[in-house]
């Protein structure tokens, strides 16, 4: 069984996330998502709209996602890859090169981001719509 892993906040799920998850799943048989906890998000300087539990239940409802584990630190990736026998690590290419330290442990694939959509854009557009 070919195991794939990817990581992220996945807040306000949108087609950019779905495109990433679909392409990641297509690379193997079992897709694990390392979902950023609320504490880790503050380390990333991010504040998710939805809590970890809410974002987790949304992800678990997506057909491409087989398993969700918490992402608490930057450093846990190597142990995650070993613990879950991961074959391929996948991220959007805004992270190109940032995780190449994993190359001794698994294949690394950076996929093109979906252009024109992001959680930040959703929040900005909604704020502008509501504030006239």
28 interacts with ligand C2G by CB under 6 A? no
Strand order in the sheet with 107-111: 67-71, 30-36, 3-8, 88-92, 107-111
**Closer CB to ligand C2G, 16 or 67, in the complex:** 16
* Rounded Cα–Cα distance for residues 132 and 102 (Å): 47
| Among residues 3, 4, 5, 8, the one that binds ligand C2G under rule CB under 6 A | 8
Based on C-alpha coordinates, what's the Rg of the chain?
A: 15
118 interacts with ligand C2G by CB under 6 A? yes
**Closer CB to ligand C2G, 30 or 117, in the complex:** 117
Q: What mask of x and - would describe binding to ligand C2G in positions 69 to 98, judged by CB under 6 A?
A: --x-------------------xx-x----
Largest CA distance in the chain: 52
- To ligand C2G, the closest distance from the beta carbon of 52 in angstroms equals 12
Binding region for ligand C2G (CB under 6 A) out of 2-10, 79-87, 100-108, 122-130: 2-10
- From residue 110, alpha-carbon distances to 89, 93, 100 in Å are 8, 5, 10
* Rounded Cα–Cα distance for residues 13 and 62 (Å): 10
CA angle 123, 126, 15 (to 5 degrees): 60
The residues annotated as belonging to the active site are: 44, 46
Q: Which residues bind ligand C2G (CB under 6 A)?
A: 6-10, 16-17, 20, 36, 44, 71, 91-92, 94, 113-114, 117-118
């Amino acid at each position: 069984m070919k195991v794939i892993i990817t990581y992220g906040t996945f807040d306000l799920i949108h087609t950019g996330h779905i495109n990433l998850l679909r392409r990641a799943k297509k690379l193997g048989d079992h897709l694990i998502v390392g979902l950023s906890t609320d504490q880790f998000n503050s380390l990333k300087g991010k504040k998710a709209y939805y809590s970890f539990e809410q974002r987790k239940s949304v992800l678990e409802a997506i057909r491409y996602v087989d398993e969700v584990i918490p992402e608490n630190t930057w450093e846990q990736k190597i142990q995650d890859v070993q613990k879950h026998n991961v074959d391929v690590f996948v991220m959007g290419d805004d992270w190109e090169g940032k995780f190449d330290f994993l190359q001794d442990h698994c294949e690394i694939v950076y996929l093109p981001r979906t252009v024109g959509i992001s959680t930040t854009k959703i929040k900005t557009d909604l704020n502008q719509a509501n504030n006239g």
